[in-house]
Structure 1
Amino acid sequence: MTLLLGPNRYGKAETRLVRVVRDGDVHHLKDINVSSSLSGEMESVHLTGDNAAVLPTDTQKNTVYAFARRHGVDQIEDFALLLARHYVDSQPTIHHARVEIEEYAWERIPATGHSFVRTGQEVRTCVVHYDRDGSVSVVSGLKDLVVLNSTGSEFHGYIVDGYTTLKPTTDRILATAVTARWRHSVTDVDFGKSYAEVRKLLLEAFADTHSLSLQQTLYAMGRRALEARPEVCEIRFAMPNKHHFLVDLEPFGLDNDNEVFYAADRPYGLIEGTVLREDAPDAGQAWE
């Protein structure tokens, strides 16, 4: 029997970094979580334990901190590109780098220069891939963007079989926690502006769409972003349906005209989908 070493990678997961920029009495805060994965000429370390080709994961962690001090941290996509290029370009045994970053939002407390409150906003994300041949992939995104429409949503006309108990409705609460990831067709991008605009478009489409299904809303959100942002060629969603069930108040002699709901956390419907340009390069490729 012949055995072969298959695809592999290694790296440092979840390097937590908080960067404070002191502009006199006014401070600026950047709070991120960085994970790196490297691959290349790794046969010997797996087969014989020879570490000569390995850049230690501890070194990857230290590089994150040193680069934060030397170069600063502005847009997470740019910082991820900087790290990925460094790992590949500085080490001949490293052929590919993947850098993933999550960013956590803080807001300055009013009338202060150095006091902050962690906001309830979504988590901003990015994943960068960089190869020795110079090919680059940048995927921006967000997760835990919790949104809700208290009306303007219906659900009916679905398959009914012997196990169906769900009643059709023409007026329901539609709520979800959006995870969205969008791939850039170019890397010469103002990532901060692009992120803000895509986020705004997603929210506008969610609010504007009279929804007959969460799938319809998903597509409308992706379409709105792609039509307005030429630098984005593909966007992928995972959107749980955060069910809100009308509570039966008749036992208490009360009516309930779509006012009192039970918010269920599980089980939940999970809607996933991709919207992309017909001419998107490498359409449907894996992003992991």
Structure 2
Amino acid sequence: MPTTVLGQNQYGKAECRVVKVVRDGTTHHIKDLNVSVSLSGEMDEVHYSGSNANVLPTDTTKNTVYAFAREHGIASAEEFAALLARHFVAGQEQIHRARVRVEEYAWDRIAATGHSFVRDGRETRLAQVAYDGEQLQVIAGLKDLTVLNSTGSEFWGYAKDRYTTLPETHDRILATDVSARWRYGWTGADGAPAPDWDAAYARARTHILDAFAETYSLSLQQTMYRMGSRVVEHDADIEEIRFSLPNKHHFLVDMEPFGLKNEPDAPGGPVYFAADRPYGLIEATILREGAEQLIPVDLTTL
């Protein structure tokens, strides 16, 4: 019989949906989160013998999420995650590391009332906080931020082989669903105050959008690098940022069978077919010079 040993492991409660309402008179504020907690530490015996002596029930972690939302409120996704991560490590001797992931869903106020809201197709805000008893690692981000440039993009001069059929273009639609994660240099270990998480998120989002809009693109890779560089260069707290960008292809519809021209400069404007799959997938990490890459290459592991 082969000898086996236990490798890296963790456990916790996934996808605790939390909606916190703060009532400021007749004006209400909503925080809508999806919180996942993962714990690791001295867990060998539960795997080897089934002893639960060191296992804090996942139901307890779920209850803690809701209790903390009530007792401490939710100032930001990052701060809430850090509070939870510190609590689990400090409160249980056998737990050495906690990781808390948060998705935040945006609600926009309907102006007519102080208590009516609409989900308006906004991106999902993301946060992950890990704590090992000494230092915090804070990774923030977003997903499903859909952007499109109707011109100002080219794609030509690429390598070709016998299977290449894509025509070169000097005027195309460039569109993508931005998935991005960025890591803060702040760890909480030296007593320095935490960044203003909401302001930092807003800045990063703005720089991503501005760089996308302002870059005359010769490739999605070039645009992505400009987006990441702008975030890192404009925020001293951010050490690295990683993107996963699907190229949402838009192809000119062949109008020749109808005797119609359908070029980018066609009178009245061209018509495109929006293809949902297959799609190109462009990914990269942009780092501050001298920084260590710590964000996983596969963003689905975050």
Task: Report the TM-score, using the length of structure 1 for normalisation.
Answer: 0.97
1:76-97 alpha-carbon deviations (Å, 9 max, x no partner) = 0000000000000000000000
Equivalent residue pairs, number: 286
Residue 20 of structure 1 pairs with residue 30 of structure 2: no
The answer to whether the 8 Å contact 2:155/2:169 transfers is yes
Residue 276 of structure 1 pairs with residue 287 of structure 2: yes
Q: Look up the equivalent residue of 1:11 and give its one-letter code.
A: G
Q: Look up the equivalent residue of 2:275 and give its one-letter code.
A: A
Displacement after TM superposition at 1:249 (Å): 1.0
- My pick for the range that moved more, 183-192 or 264-273, is 183-192
Q: Secondary structure at the match of 1:272?
A: strand
CA distance in 1: counterparts of 2:95 and 2:149, whole angstroms: 48
CA distance in 1: counterparts of 2:205 and 2:111, whole angstroms: 25
1:62-115 alpha-carbon deviations (Å, 9 max, x no partner) = 000000000001110000000000000000000000000000010111120111
1:218: which partner in 2?
Answer: 224
2:271: which partner in 1?
Answer: 260
Displacement after TM superposition at 1:284 (Å): 3.9
Percent identical across equivalent pairs?
A: 62
CA distance in 2: counterparts of 1:233 and 1:204, whole angstroms: 20
Residue 29 of structure 1 pairs with residue 35 of structure 2: no
Displacement after TM superposition at 1:19 (Å): 0.5
Distance 1:285 1:263, change over 3 A: closer
Distance 1:67 1:221, change over 3 A: same
Q: Which runs of 5+ in 1 are unaligned?
A: none
Residue 192 of structure 1 pairs with residue 172 of structure 2: no
CA distance in 2: counterparts of 1:197 and 1:224, whole angstroms: 10
1:43: which partner in 2?
Answer: 44
RMSD: 1.0
1:7-50 alpha-carbon deviations (Å, 9 max, x no partner) = 00011000000001111111111100000100000000000000
Distance 1:284 1:22, change over 3 A: closer
CA distance in 1: counterparts of 2:61 and 2:271, whole angstroms: 52
Displacement after TM superposition at 1:2 (Å): 2.1
Q: Secondary structure at the match of 2:147?
A: strand
Displacement after TM superposition at 1:279 (Å): 2.1
The answer to whether the 8 Å contact 2:13/2:36 transfers is yes
Displacement after TM superposition at 1:285 (Å): 5.4
CA distance in 1: counterparts of 2:224 and 2:238, whole angstroms: 16
Match of 1:203 among 183, 205, 209: 209
2:168: which partner in 1?
Answer: 168
Q: Look up the equivalent residue of 1:104 and give its one-letter code.
A: Y
Task: Report the TM-score, using the length of structure 2 for normalisation.
Answer: 0.93
Residue 106 of structure 1 pairs with residue 107 of structure 2: yes
The answer to whether the 8 Å contact 2:183/2:295 transfers is no
CA distance in 2: counterparts of 1:283 and 1:174, whole angstroms: 28
CA distance in 2: counterparts of 1:49 and 1:252, whole angstroms: 71
